[in-house]
Amino acid sequence: MIREKLLYVETFGCQMNVSDSEKIVALLSKVGYHPTQDSSRADLIILNTCSVREKPEKKVYSSLGRFKGLKKGGRRLILAVGGCVAQQEGERLLENIPYLDIVFGTHNLHLLPDMVRRAEEGARLAETGFIDSEERLDLFPVEDGAGGVSRFVTVMQGCDNFCSYCIVPYVRGREISRRSAEIIREITEMAERGVREVTLLGQNVNSYGLKSSGEPDFAGLLRQVADIPGIERVRFTTSHPKDISPPLIACFAENVKVCGHIHLPAQSGSEAVLARMNRGYGRKEYLEKIAALKAARPGIQITGDMIVGFPGEGEADFQDTLSLMEEVGYADLFSFKYSVRSGTGAAGYPDDVAGAVKQERLSRLQELQRKITLEGNRSFVGTIQEVLVEGVNRRGDQLFGRTSGNRVVNFSGPPSLIGSITEVAITRAFQNSLLGETRTSRQLAAASGIL
């Protein structure tokens, strides 16, 4: 009997890479590779990489070093690198890493089965060509048939924004939107399998459809998705502030299925820094959009990304970032120290904020955000929240789910609640989650005199 071949995939970076890894697993299962969690047993190891900052990029190289040892002793193991580092480095990776077999870029997932077959025969190969047409999005399975309550669906790929610090437009290529009919078909099938919530995914979802003829804009797509029977919640990520349009804001006011949360990275609160970042909006404009979103959906939860130590950022600029954070009241914030990416616009500016200053600003920013997040979480205590129940928590003793505003809630209840939207009374707030109880458990407690 032929032993089944095992595939181990390690994923770095953003949700787009997580989705791509799912597609890679689906593609390679068709040629006999089954996923394993144990890299030491794998016949094929794939690193799906990220090059957005220095730190994630370094992680890739340390993982590669780890897997080098597995090749010793003559065991046949194919080692492949995909994703954004692969796109950036291409053939150079094969030249520099003698034990590496395959390099595949962000537009070349569909070539993998054939590349793996050739590597099985001893070849070493790299494919990193870009495909800048709609065909790109039809080249690999979009759906793996998996169930679950909440799923991500890619609606567009690539980025044309060229923020001056960012490598993504270079490693993901031009913005391409998937055809809406395809998206609707895929989500309809998901809903039939029990999926209740979808998150529409793209590097810059708000510009969906703007460059393709005969397609709706993003607000139109959102409404179509919300109309799919069985879909009870729709989310989307990531949004660019300059493309938040009045029709999109109206979706938050009019459509209850559109969740009360938006990830809207500001990157900085300083007018001067935003201009050098080439973000296409200023502080005032950003705050106006936030105000319009808050007016359209009272209580909307806002999350974002922030960079500290961008070239030329002085203490006053940084203070503007802190004051913007307080004004917005972010539910949560991902924050990063600026790191130069070669080939980007900002690589031409001197990286003139000292490492220690970047670190100190990051710590201050994160301390402030922890305070704002905890205050935000505490404001839910005593409220009733609608929670989409996603599953049993890691400890196995409680259910967990998310509020419309994307806060995690843990509570006791029967597993039969998984997949449904349940009213939960919030009883305690922590830094990263909320604790609650369902009406039934409250009634039981009341009946037994505990409450």
Residue 307 contact partner, candidates ligand F3S, ligand SAH, ligand SF4, none, CB within 5 to 8 A by sort of partner: ligand SAH
Out of 46, 112, 159, 308, point to the residue binding ligand SF4 (CB under 6 A).
Answer: 159
171 binds ligand F3S (CB under 6 A): yes
Q: Using CB atoms within 10 A of its CB, is residue 213 exposed (0-12), middle (13-18) or buried (19+)?
A: exposed
Pattern 74-93, ligand F3S, x by CB under 6 A: ---------xx---------
188 binds ligand SAH (CB under 6 A): no
50 binds ligand F3S (CB under 6 A): yes
Residue 218 contact partner, candidates ligand SAH, ligand SF4, ligand F3S, none, CB within 5 to 8 A by sort of partner: none
Residue 51 contact partner, candidates ligand SF4, ligand F3S, ligand SAH, none, CB within 5 to 8 A by sort of partner: ligand F3S
204 binds ligand SF4 (CB under 6 A): yes
Choices 95-103, 160-168, 229-237, 422-430 (CB under 6 A): range interacting with ligand SF4: 160-168
Show the 3-state SS of the chain: CCCCEEEEEEECCCHHHHHHHHHHHHHHHCCCEEECCCHHHCCEEEEEECCCCHHHHHHHHHHHHHHHHHHHHHCCCEEEEEHHHHHHHCHHHHHHCCCCCEEECCCCHHHHHHHHHHHHCCCCEEECCCCCCHHHHHCCCCCCCCCCCEEEEECEECCCCCCCCCCHHHHHCCCEECCHHHHHHHHHHHHHCCCCEEEEECCCHHHCCCCCCCCCCHHHHHHHHHCCCCCCEEEEECCCHHHCCHHHHHHHHHCCCECCEEECCCECCCHHHHHHCCCCCCHHHHHHHHHHHHHHCCCCEEEEEEEECCCCCCHHHHHHHHHHHHHHCCCEEEEEECCCCCCCHHHHCCCCCCHHHHHHHHHHHHHHHHHHHHHHHHCCCCCEEEEEEEEECCCCCCEEEEECCCCEEEEECCHHHCCCEEEEEEEEECCCCEEEEEHHHHHHHHHCCCC
325 binds ligand SAH (CB under 6 A): no
Residue 249 contact partner, candidates ligand SF4, ligand SAH, ligand F3S, none, CB within 5 to 8 A by sort of partner: none
Token output for 46: 């794939």
Indicate the residue among 161 and 404 with the shorter CB distance to ligand SF4: 161
Residue 53 contact partner, candidates ligand SF4, ligand F3S, ligand SAH, none, CB within 5 to 8 A by sort of partner: ligand SAH
Q: From the CB of 52, what's the least distance to ligand F3S, in Å?
A: 4
170 binds ligand SF4 (CB under 6 A): no
166 binds ligand SF4 (CB under 6 A): yes
Residue 297 contact partner, candidates ligand F3S, ligand SF4, ligand SAH, none, CB within 5 to 8 A by sort of partner: none
Report phi then psi at 132, rounded to 5. Answer: -100, 50
53 binds ligand SAH (CB under 6 A): yes
Residue 107 contact partner, candidates ligand SAH, ligand SF4, ligand F3S, none, CB within 5 to 8 A by sort of partner: none
336 binds ligand SAH (CB under 6 A): yes
Spatial distance between the Cα atoms of 270 and 276, rounded to a whole number of angstroms? 10
Centroid of chain to Cα 432? 18
Q: How many residues bind ligand SAH (CB under 6 A)?
A: 17
60 binds ligand F3S (CB under 6 A): no
173 binds ligand F3S (CB under 6 A): no
* Residue with the two structure tokens 């804009």: 217
Q: From the CB of 169, what's the least distance to ligand F3S, in Å?
A: 10
Q: From the CB of 277, what's the least distance to ligand SAH, in Å?
A: 9
Out of 165, 236, 281, 318, point to the residue binding ligand SAH (CB under 6 A).
Answer: 165
339 binds ligand SAH (CB under 6 A): yes
Spatial distance between the Cα atoms of 116 and 79, rounded to a whole number of angstroms? 10
Q: Letter for the amino acid at 441?
A: S
Indicate the residue among 339 and 366 with the shorter CB distance to ligand SAH: 339
238 binds ligand SAH (CB under 6 A): yes
The residues binding ligand SAH (CB under 6 A) are 14, 52-53, 165-166, 168, 203-204, 238, 265, 267, 305, 307, 336, 338-339, 341
Task: Please report, as ranges, the residues that interact with ligand F3S according to CB under 6 A.
Answer: 13-14, 16-17, 50-52, 83-84, 167-168, 171-172
